[in-house]
Every structure is written in C-alpha cells, then in structure tokens.
Amino acid sequence: MATLELRNLHKSYGNGLADTLKSIDLSIDSGEFLILVGPSGCGKSTLMNCIAGLEDVTGGGILVDGQDISGMSPKDRDIAMVFQSYALYPTMSVRENIAFGLKIRKMPRAAIDEEVARVAKLLQIEHLLERKPAQLSGGQQQRVAMGRALARRPKIYLFDEPLSNLDAKLRVEMRTEIKLMHQRLKTTTVYVTHDQIEAMTLGDKVAVMKDGIVQQFGTPQQIYNDPANLFVASFIGSPPMNFVPLRVQRQGGQLLGLLDSGQDRCQLPLALGDEIAEGRELILGLRPEQIVIAEAGSNGLSDVRAEVEVIEPTGPDTLAFVTLNGAKVCCRLAPDAAPAVGATLQLRLDPARVLLFDAQSGERLRAAPGGTGETKVTPLARHKH
C-alpha cells in the first residue's frame, strides 16, 4: 500500500504539439481507488503510462510514499498495470501466463504455485488453469490478464479501461468483482474508464479530465451533486443533466429566471450573488430526478405546467420529456407513473437545488460568498399564456 501524488505533471509528445497533459495535480491516500474519467483523447492513457514509467514526463513529479519516482525505470517502480487489450501469451496455459512475471523475477517454484493458487481463487478461474487462452471466453481472458497483474503484490495497480472490450453483462459482473477485490486487498489503485457508471460506483475519488486538464477532482458524490462546470455536469449522470437556457431578470431586488413551457411560465428565484447583471445569459442545470411532479391544482411558487411529448418506460423508471425555454427536459418518474403523451404535468423545481452556469464560459455560478445559498422566495404573479 502506498500514497500516490502527482505534482504539476506535464507531458508533451513534442513536434510543437500542445501539451497532452497540462499541470496535473492529484493526490490519493494509501488504499484509495482513484477513477480517471474523460472523453477519448483527453490524456488518460498518457497519464497512466507516465505513472507506470512507460512514458517520460516533461515536467513535474510522481511521488509514491513521498518519494519521486518519475526518473525510475518501470521495473523499479513496483507498479502493475492492466491494459484494455489483454495480450496473453497464446502458447502458454493460464497457469503459465499468471506465473510468467513471477518466474522472470526469480521467485521460487513453491512460492509461485502458492501465488497462482491465491490469484486463481480470487478471480474464480481455478478450473481454467490448464487451458490455453484460445479456449477461453473474452471475459475469462480478461480475468487471466488481471490475474497476471494481481499475482504480484505491487504498491500500486493501474487499470486502463480493463473492461471496455467486454459485453455489457460481463462488464457489470467484473465491475462488482473488481470492487470486491479492492475491498479485500486494499491496494492503491488508479482506474481509467469512460463508463460513468464505473466512475460513480468504483472509486473513492474521481478525476474528470478534458484536453489534458483535470476539470474536477473529488468524491463521486461531489462530482455528481456539485459539479465545477458545465463539462463535468454534462459528462456524469445517466440520463444526463438537463440544461435550460435562461436570462437573468431583476425584479424588486430579486434575481429571477423565466421558464416557459409553451403553455405556462414561472419565474424561478436564482440563488446568485447580487453582482450578476440583468440580462446575463445562464444555463440552468437540473437532474432528471430533481423534478418533482406536483399534484395538479396545488400551487408551488416555482411550478410550471408542461405538456408531455415523449414517454420512455425504462423498467426501473419512466422518463417523461417536456420542453422548457425551447430545451428538451427529461423528468425521471416512478415506474408506475405513466402519464399519457399530451398530458399536462405540473413540474415543481427546487430553487435551492438547481445549478447555474455561465452560458459563455460554462463555469458554475454560485450564491454570493458568505451567503447561505438559500434564496428568499416571495410570491409572484403567475403568468399564463
């Protein structure tokens, strides 16, 4: 077990190209599980290869237990990596594949046998040990690849999209197994994925990357509930967060945003600092599960009635789509709530929970510093078309 700290890490592949990694600062405690998530090409594999020592860094430090390892050769780093493509040795049995790394480290025969048995039991591949890779399914091959890494007891495990070649059902199974494995072994782990369910469920910490920059680093809950910007907000969550454009209005000392469904309007109080100019364009962020359907006729101050355009029953939820300010908005309803297309829903929004972003920069806008983040709500005349 070891702590891992990345300090002002830079990586350029040269050729006058922009830096692939730009000032990465991350730090995880011993035994923690860090998820790196971000779109294809944002630099996730580059970062992993730098930690493993397969690529040199251009600047900055990689500290394991406080010691900078960025100049060390890969074999001296005591870090094991599992790649997306699990190249097993085709002529070797599963047993030999798992034992290979231990053999070249000159581990005694008896110790190797013991280690292979331990790993095979952990990954439930004991019955496959004498088979060749070609006689295994994709999922079994991936377990063997993982077994090869786990047969060592390194300070740190690196996983680079280890499940992305597996079919959906196996991915879910392996996800649970990886989590179980980490709970048992408690080895410091960095795990790359572009699957947001893996990102939310596996990690103690999540780093969301874009264009070689960490956009936000926090717990899964912080990333989900308190995103730093529009990119993070839109990247995490399924179905994704709804984004509704609106313009700041000022009325009687209050900041408001008009929401228009085509058949009804409401003025939503905006929890913002007083310095926000009238007319400024914002994006309102609203998770599908935050929209409450109020009983028709009840009167919430920030209710807006809207017509259901599409219904999608997914099994565990029913998704109802409406339009607000011209944007499609998904409402997540209970499975037994199945309003008809064309029906009117009375949507109730909680002004204290909606998120606000600057429409130009995408940065999150928050209540005034020192403020409570709560907005005083005074009754306003409701506008009907």
Ligand X SMILES: Nc1ncnc2c1ncn2[C@@H]1O[C@H](COP(=O)(O)OP(=O)(O)O)[C@@H](O)[C@H]1O
Q: Note the residues at the interface with ligand X (CB under 6 A).
A: 13, 20, 38, 40-46
Which one, 129 or 192, has the nearer CB to ligand X? 192
288 binds, among Mg ion, ligand X, none (CB under 5 to 8 A by kind): none
Which residues sit at the interface with Mg ion, rule CB under 5 A?
Answer: 44-45
Which one, 16 or 253, has the nearer CB to ligand X? 16
Least CB distance to ligand X at residue 175 (A): 19
Which one, 45 or 375, has the nearer CB to ligand X? 45
Residues 6+ apart with CB under 8 A from 11: 19, 20, 21, 43, 46, 47, 50, 55, 57, 58, 212
70 binds, among ligand X, Mg ion, none (CB under 5 to 8 A by kind): none
42 binds, among ligand X, Mg ion, none (CB under 5 to 8 A by kind): ligand X
- Interatomic CA distance for residues 333 and 152, integer angstroms: 47
40 binds, among Mg ion, ligand X, none (CB under 5 to 8 A by kind): ligand X
Least CB distance to ligand X at residue 11 (A): 8
- Interatomic CA distance for residues 365 and 358, integer angstroms: 7
Query: What 3-state DSSP class applies to 54?
Result: coil
Instruction: Evaluate whether 193 touches 34 at the Cβ level (below 8 Å).
Output: no
Which one, 30 or 84, has the nearer CB to Mg ion? 84
Which one, 45 or 346, has the nearer CB to ligand X? 45
Least CB distance to Mg ion at residue 335 (A): 37
- Interatomic CA distance for residues 173 and 164, integer angstroms: 13
46 binds, among Mg ion, ligand X, none (CB under 5 to 8 A by kind): ligand X
Give the burial class of 61: count Cβ atoms within 10 A of its Cβ; 0-12 exposed, 13-18 middle, 19 or more buried.
Answer: middle
Least CB distance to Mg ion at residue 96 (A): 28
- How many residues are there in the chain? 385
Give the burial class of 136: count Cβ atoms within 10 A of its Cβ; 0-12 exposed, 13-18 middle, 19 or more buried.
Answer: middle
In order of 73, 102, 207, 247, 309, the CA distances from 219 in angstroms are 32, 35, 9, 32, 36
Which one, 83 or 217, has the nearer CB to Mg ion? 83
User: Which contiguous run of DSSP H or E holds residue 193?
Assistant: strand 188-193
Least CB distance to Mg ion at residue 44 (A): 5
Which one, 193 or 261, has the nearer CB to ligand X? 193
310-313 sheet: strands from edge to edge: 310-313, 318-324, 327-333
Least CB distance to Mg ion at residue 276 (A): 39
89 binds, among Mg ion, ligand X, none (CB under 5 to 8 A by kind): none
**Cis omega before residue 239 (within 30°)?**
yes
Which residues are 327's β-sheet partners? 324
- Report the relative pairing of strands 303-307 and 344-348 from DSSP bridges: antiparallel
Least CB distance to ligand X at residue 64 (A): 21
140 binds, among Mg ion, ligand X, none (CB under 5 to 8 A by kind): none
Which one, 22 or 179, has the nearer CB to ligand X? 22
Least CB distance to ligand X at residue 9 (A): 13
